[in-house]
Each structure stands twice: as structure tokens, then as C-alpha cells.
């Protein structure tokens, strides 16, 4: 691979060794796009160079070191913008590290974003060949696999149409199908698989499992902490370009959730909202807390547990019977539920000063993963919005869901069957088998 | 970091020959798609250009071609064609390299491949086209009994020209990523170059001196003139260009090619971030 070096001794049992890697991007605010602009930039002396008028260094990664053992499934977590994608690109040889070095041993296949290396004007089939040849796979091998790839992606009807007409789901399916069918020794997957539908996701993870069983090293970025914990051998947590924790999945996840908690707590409460006028918003939501039945605040909940969501408010002047509402969303921003306080006829009365209201959920229906919970408060007619807090509070549902069920929710129901006739009276009049 | 001495870089592109082959196949396959005449266009196009130039410069302006090597005829169109094939290849490699990098550049942020692969594929595509044009030309000349061993050297000349053009094309293509002006400027520059290279006229038509300048020598110094003239000598005049000139052409070609390759490699190390 380009930009990677091989070193026999240091690589024993390792597929990827990242040593002190830093990556600096130059954020150009004023990059000249034509010679004329470059020339005028040069003459006016702002920055002085022909290449760029002004650029700010941005360190996406700082002194990152980690080792991915051969055959391991390695998870990366971190918030958006923490440098995960840059690190994956460096591992895949697409970016060059500014400092440090990366050693990769083995043929690497990377699925970094939507439409991994597809040319929009070419058909799906042509793109399979193009993509495979970029990964260094001989044509003969792809000839054998092409039908398998098409079938895996479920694109039989569209494979000879240009990929520019594909939906985003079709893009991802085809990208994933190619990436896993080229016999990679190392597979790098950014969080793209989440785009496909549930059935395809299951198939993807099933395939990742079988690849791992064949000894393929897999590096995976995901926000689905439950999935990472269930599948990864090791994990690392990237925080603003630094490795904050590395090691056992459970430890890394706990460390990650700890900061998400404290950062969440720090952000809550007395922060003035931009443009929020005290007079115009007499009632504000100051915090949201998740409790279990015993009144504790666990880091994560298990599916089926009771949950109490407490909404803290601050009313700067008296408000009569405000309507509180909550919104539960999954990581794809799918709105799962939106309980509102006036639906069941609940009236909080006159609220003034600080206080809270609670929403009590008998059983958490969500299966696993991170869910964000919005809170809003309106006037008694539910026509005027006093305050709304979105995408700030995260509810972590962990534990291993029963893999035999699927979907986002566990429904609170039972299975029954039609009463069976007694076994000694055959249902068919023609006489049963004795 | 290993980013390649020239040797390492050459080896890398060899490892990606499958990709280059795929790109060539795509270029050739996509060409003339949805046209009735299809592949005939790849011959009709140069034939039309040739006819126009032959009409304007041979018939209207009455440029005189020298006698052919076998001494039995002179034909301006064929004389022109010998140089035009070279020019077409030169032009094709340069514009192809620039277009290919922009076309495939967006993929470079998603999957690693050597950034020179698109340009090398463009080169192969052009060589394929040039080989067709050259074969047709040679076939016509053979029919006119104007043939000699000098024909055998012509493919070598074509390869040298292609390397020369690739060196220039690679540098222009990487500049073009940053400044699109380069693309527009080179279109103009190529137009100019076309007329200061003896293609539509014989070099002998240019006066030794004009406006106090040794014009003919200036035009002769243009490396491209050497290639077009040598092509005429080999195919039309059935003459050997002489070892010294051939050596010089090889030197220029390999020098420009290697320099272009090195500049390209140095400038494209971070190209995935720019495209």
C-alpha cells in the first residue's frame, strides 16, 4: 500500500501498527482557485505564497498509537469530528500521516463512506470491476465473484444501470458487497453499514462474523456501543484526535460513557441559550435525568427495565399547566416515541421557580444502542413553544439483546397458538399415519 | 515513509496494471457509445481533420510537399498525416492526463490507488488510437509502394513521443487540480504549439530569418518538431533520421518523462485531501 512501510520484526502478530501518528490538515479560508487570485494574494502580501493565501493548521489526530492484532475485530468509538475517519483513511493508505508512521500488513479493503470508490457514470457491474481492480484483485477472481456480489447486494435488477441513479442504501449495499468479497486480509469499515435496512445490516454483521472466523482483521467504527461490546476483541476511544482509552471493550465503553455523562452534565443548566430572551421564555428546561426504580442514575439501562425521565425546569414567572413532551430518537434520528404530558390529562398546575416533572416508563422497549431524548415545554394549549432541548441527552441501552429477535423495539406481548386437537384423533378424515 | 524513488513508483503502477487495463477498457468502451457508426468514428475523426487541413493548406494555400521516398509521387495529405499522427498522440496524452485525474480524483478519498494510474491509462488509450492511425497510414503508403525498413523505427518514435507527452501531461494535470486555469491555458498553448510545429507545413517553408530572428531554427528547436519531422522522414521520406538526432530525442523524452513523473509524485502525496 502507498504510504505504508513494512517491518518484519515489529509486526509479529499484528495487522496494523500505528506509531505516534499525527495528522494536520490545513483549513484554508481563502484558497485561491485561479492563478489571478493567487497572484493578487501574493501581491497584497497576505500570506505571501502562491499556493494559499491563508491557511490554519487543524490537528485531526495527535500522537495516536495503537496496535491491531491479526485476526481481531477492533472497534473505534468517538464523537463526530474526533478523528476516527482520518485514522481509518491513514490506515487505508489514502492519507499520509503528518508525523509518525503506520505499518499495515495484508491486503486492505476499506469501506469508508457512501459509494466507496464508485464512479457515478459507470454501471454497477463496471464499478464492481473498477473497485476490485483498485483493490488489486485480478479480473479472473472477480469474474467468479461478480454474481455473488450482485446477489449479496440484492441489486440484480439494477446492476447494469449507472450507479448515479442508485439510492443511498443501494450504494452502501454494493460497496459493502464488493469490500467483503475481494478476499481482504484487513477490512476497514467506517460507520456506513447503518444506512442499509435492518435485514441488510444483519446480513452485514453475519458476514463480518464469518470473515473474522476466517482470520480477517476488521477495524470498525460505530456508535452502536452494544454491538461493539458484543463483537469486538479490543477497542479504542478517540477524543478530539487523542486516544483517550484503549483495551477491553467494556472498559473503553465505560470510560467513553463517563465523559459523555460528565460533559452532558456540564453542558446542562445555566448555559444561556443563544437568542433566548428571558422575558420571551418564561419557562426553560434546565436538565434531563434518567433514573432507575431505586432512584439511581446508572450509566446505561437494560432493555425491559423501568425508566424514569425527570425534566428539570426553571420558570422565571408563573406559568399555568404547561405541556411537557419528550421525544425518543435512535442514532439515525428516527423518531421512535413522543409522549406528551397532556395526552393522559396530566396537569402540572401552576409552575414557578425551579422544579421537575417525571415520565415513568414501566418497561424500556428499546432493544440496544444509544438513543437521544429531546425535551420540550409548551403553554397549556400546546400552541406556543417555551423551550426545547434537542440532541443533548443520550440514553444508553446496553446488554446483549436476544439475537433471535430483531427490530428496534421489544414489544410487550405473548405468543399463543390455536388449541390443537388431541393426538389420538387425527384431523384428516382419510386416516393418519399410524 | 516510503513514497517512492522512481523505481519504487514504477513498480507500484505495475502492481495496479489491472486497474490501468480496466480504465483503458472503460475509456475505449464508453467512447462512441450510443452512436450509429460506433468505432468508425475513431477513423472518421482523424480522416476529417486530415481532409480539412489538406484542403486548406495543400489545395488552397498550395504548400508543396517534397517527393516521397520512392521518388514516384508527392502527396500533401500523406505528408501531413505523418506529422498529424504524432501531434494527435501528443495532444491526446496531455489532455487525457488532465481530464483523467479530475475525473477519477474524487475516488481517491475513498480508496487508495496510485494517482498516476488515470494518466497512464489515458496514455495507453491514446497509444491504441495512434497505433490504429499509424497502421492505416502505413497501409496506404505500402499500397503506393512507398515502404522501407524505416517503418520499423516508427513505433519506437511513437513511444518516445508518448513518454515526452506524459511527462508534460502529468505536471499539467496536477497543477490543474489546484488551478483550473491551467486547463484553459494549456488549450490555448496547444493551439499555438500546433502552428509552431511543422505539421500543416513543411519546415522548408519557414524563412531562415524573419524580423531579425532565426525563425526556422527556433521552430526546429521545439522538441515536438523533431518528432513530427522524424515521423515524416521515416514514413514518407524513407530516410533514417540519424543516430545523433534519435539519441537526442530519446534523451529529451526520457528526461521530460522522468522529471514530470517525479514532480507528479512529489505533488500528489497529499492529493486525496485536495480533490
What are the pLDDT tens digits along chain A (434 aa)? 434 444 445 577 889 999 999 998 877 655 555 666 666 655 554 444 444 455 678 889 999 999 999 999 999 988 878 888 889 989 988 888 999 999 998 888 888 765 567 888 788 888 888 888 887 788 888 888 899 899 988 888 888 888 888 887 788 888 888 888 888 899 988 875 655 566 777 778 788 888 888 999 999 888 777 778 778 899 999 998 899 899 988 888 878 877 765 554 444 333 334 444 444 578 889 889 999 988 888 888 888 889 999 999 999 888 999 999 999 987 666 788 889 998 888 889 999 899 999 999 999 998 888 888 889 998 888 877 888 887 778 888 877 666 677 778 888 888 888 887 776 655 555 444 44
Interface of B with A (CB under 8 A): 1-3, 12, 15-16, 18-19, 21-23, 26, 30, 103-104, 107-114, 178-182, 269-270, 272-273
Q: Å from B95 to nearest chain A CA?
A: 19
> Does residue A26 lie in a domain region?
yes
> Does residue A264 lie in a domain region?
no
A4 and A31 Cβ atoms separated by less than 8 Å:
no
Separation between Cα atoms, residue B262 and residue B166, nearest integer Å: 12
3-state helix, strand, coil in chain B (%, to 5): 75, 0, 25
Q: Å from B181 to nearest chain A CA?
A: 6
> Does residue A202 lie in a domain region?
yes
Both A279 and A198 in one domain: the answer is no
Residue B261 to residues A14, A134, A385, A413: CA-CA distances in angstroms? 34, 20, 63, 68
Both A236 and A293 in one domain: the answer is no
What is the CATH classification number for the domain harbouring A349?
2.70.50.60
Q: Å from A197 to nearest chain B CA?
A: 23
What is the CATH classification number for the domain harbouring A91?
3.40.50.300
Interacting residues of A354 by C-beta distance below 8 A, sequence separation 6+: A286, A312, A313, A314, A315
The answer to whether A131 faces chain B, any CB pair under 8 Å, is yes
Both A301 and A365 in one domain: the answer is yes
Both A233 and A347 in one domain: the answer is no
Element (H, E) at A389: strand A385-398
A90 and A24 Cβ atoms separated by less than 8 Å:
no
Residue A365: CB atoms within 10 Å:
18
Separation between Cα atoms, residue B213 and residue B193, nearest integer Å: 18
- Which triple of cell numbers denotes residue B149? 525498413
Structural domain containing residue A158: 9-258
**B178 closest CA partner among B261, B258, B271, B115:** B271
How many domains does chain A fold into?
A: 2
**Phi–psi pair at A350, nearest 5 degrees:** -85, 125
Both A19 and A93 in one domain: the answer is yes
Sort out which chain B residues have CB atoms less than 8 A from A92's CB and list them.
Answer: 111-112
Amino acid at each position: 500500500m502507498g504510504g505504508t512501510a513494512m517491518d518484519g520484526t515489529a509486526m509479529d502478530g499484528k495487522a496494523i501498527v500505528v506509531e505516534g501518528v499525527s495528522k494536520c490538515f490545513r483549513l484554508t479560508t481563502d484558497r485561491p482557485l485561479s492563478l489571478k487570485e493567487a497572484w493578487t494574494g501574493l501581491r497584497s502580501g497576505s500570506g505571501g505564497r502562491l499556493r494559499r493565501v491563508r491557511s490554519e493548521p487543524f490537528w485531526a489526530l495527535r500522537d495516536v498509537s495503537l496496535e491491531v492484532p491479526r485476526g481481531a475485530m477492533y472497534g473505534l468509538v468517538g464523537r463526530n469530528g474526533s478523528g476516527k475517519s482520518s485514522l481509518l483513511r491513514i490506515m487505508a493508505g489514502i492519507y499520509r500521516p503528518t508525523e509518525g508512521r503506520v505499518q499495515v500488513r495484508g491486503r486492505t479493503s476499506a469501506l469508508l463512506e457512501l459509494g466507496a470508490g464508485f464512479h457515478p457514470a459507470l454501471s454497477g457491474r463496471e464499478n464492481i470491476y473498477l473497485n476490485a481492480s483498485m483493490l488489486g484483485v485480478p479480473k479472473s477472481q472477480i469474474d467468479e465473484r461478480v454474481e455473488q456480489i450482485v446477489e449479496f447486494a440484492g441489486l440484480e435488477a439494477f446492476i447494469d444501470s449507472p450507479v448515479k441513479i442508485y439510492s443511498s442504501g443501494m450504494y452502501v449495499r454494493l460497496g459493502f458487497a464488493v469490500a467483503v468479497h475481494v478476499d481482504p486480509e484487513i477490512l476497514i469499515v467506517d460507520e456506513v453499514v447503518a444506512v442499509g435496512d435492518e435485514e441488510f445490516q444483519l446480513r452485514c454483521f453475519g458476514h463480518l462474523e464469518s470473515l473474522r472466523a476466517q482470520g480477517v482483521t476488521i477495524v470498525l467504527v460505530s456508535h452502536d456501543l452494544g454491538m461493539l461490546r458484543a463483537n469486538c476483541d479490543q477497542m479504542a476511544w478517540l477524543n478530539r484526535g487523542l486516544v483517550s482509552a484503549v483495551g477491553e471493550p467494556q472498559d473503553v465503553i465505560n470510560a467513553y460513557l463517563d465523559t459523555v455523562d460528565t460533559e452532558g452534565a456540564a453542558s446542562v443548566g445555566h448555559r444561556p441559550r443563544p437568542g433566548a430572551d428571558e422575558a420571551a421564555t418564561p419557562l426553560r428546561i434546565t436538565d434531563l435525568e434518567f433514573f432507575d426504580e431505586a432512584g439511581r442514575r446508572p450509566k446505561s439501562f437494560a432493555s425491559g427495565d423501568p425508566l424514569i425521565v425527570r425534566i428539570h425546569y426553571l420558570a422565571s414567572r408563573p406559568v399555568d399547566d404547561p405541556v411537557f413532551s419528550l421525544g425518543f430518537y435512535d442514532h439515525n434520528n428516527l423518531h421512535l416515541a413522543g409522549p406528551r404530558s397532556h395526552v393522559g390529562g396530566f396537569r402540572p398546575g401552576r409552575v414557578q421557580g425551579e422544579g421537575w416533572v417525571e415520565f415513568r416508563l414501566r418497561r424500556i422497549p428499546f432493544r440496544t444502542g444509544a438513543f437521544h431524548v429531546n425535551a420540550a415545554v409548551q403553554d397549556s394549549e400546546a400552541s406556543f413553544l417555551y423551550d426545547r432541548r434537542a440532541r443533548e441527552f443520550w440514553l444508553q441501552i446496553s446488554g446483549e439483546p436476544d439475537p433471535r429477535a430483531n427490530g428496534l423495539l421489544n414489544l410487550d406481548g405473548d405468543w399463543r397458538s390455536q388449541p390443537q386437537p388431541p393426538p389420538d384423533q387425527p384431523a384428516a378424515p382419510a386416516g393418519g399415519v399410524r | 515513509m516510503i513514497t517512492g524513488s522512481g523505481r519504487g513508483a514504477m513498480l507500484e503502477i505495475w502492481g495496479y496494471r489491472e486497474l490501468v487495463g480496466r480504465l483503458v477498457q472503460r475509456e475505449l468502451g464508453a467512447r462512441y457509445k450510443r452512436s450509429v457508426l460506433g468505432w468508425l468514428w475513431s477513423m472518421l475523426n482523424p480522416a476529417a481533420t486530415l481532409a480539412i487541413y489538406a484542403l486548406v493548406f495543400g489545395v488552397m494555400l498550395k504548400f508543396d510537399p517534397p517527393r516521397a521516398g520512392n521518388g514516384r509521387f508527392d502527396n500533401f495529405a500523406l505528408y501531413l498525416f505523418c506529422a498529424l499522427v504524432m501531434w494527435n498522440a501528443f495532444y491526446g496524452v496531455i489532455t487525457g492526463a488532465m481530464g483523467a485525474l479530475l475525473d477519477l480524483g474524487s475516488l481517491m478519498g475513498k480508496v487508495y490507488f496510485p494517482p498516476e494510474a488515470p494518466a497512464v491509462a489515458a496514455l495507453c488509450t491514446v497509444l491504441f488510437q495512434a497505433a490504429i492511425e499509424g497502421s492505416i497510414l502505413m497501409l496506404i503508403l505500402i499500397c503506393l509502394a512507398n515502404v522501407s525498413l524505416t517503418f520499423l523505427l516508427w513505433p519506437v518514435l511513437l513511444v518516445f513521443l508518448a513518454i515526452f507527452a506524459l511527462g508534460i501531461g502529468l505536471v499539467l494535470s496536477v497543477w490543474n487540480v489546484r488551478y483550473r486555469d491551467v486547463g484553459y491555458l494549456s488549450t490555448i498553448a496547444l493551439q499555438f504549439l500546433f502552428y509552431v510545429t511543422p505539421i500543416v507545413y513543411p519546415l522548408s517553408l519557414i524563412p531562415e530569418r524573419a524580423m531579425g530572428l532565426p525563425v526556422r531554427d527556433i521552430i526546429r528547436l521545439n522538441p515536438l518538431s523533431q518528432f513530427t519531422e522524424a515521423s515524416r522522414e521515416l514514413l514518407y521520406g524513407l530516410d533514417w533520421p540519424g543516430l545523433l538526432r534519435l539519441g537526442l530525442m530519446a534523451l529529451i523524452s526520457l528526461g521530460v518523462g522522468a522529471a514530470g513523473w517525479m514532480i507528479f509524485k512529489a505533488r500528489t502525496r497529499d492529493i486525496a485531501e485536495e480533490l
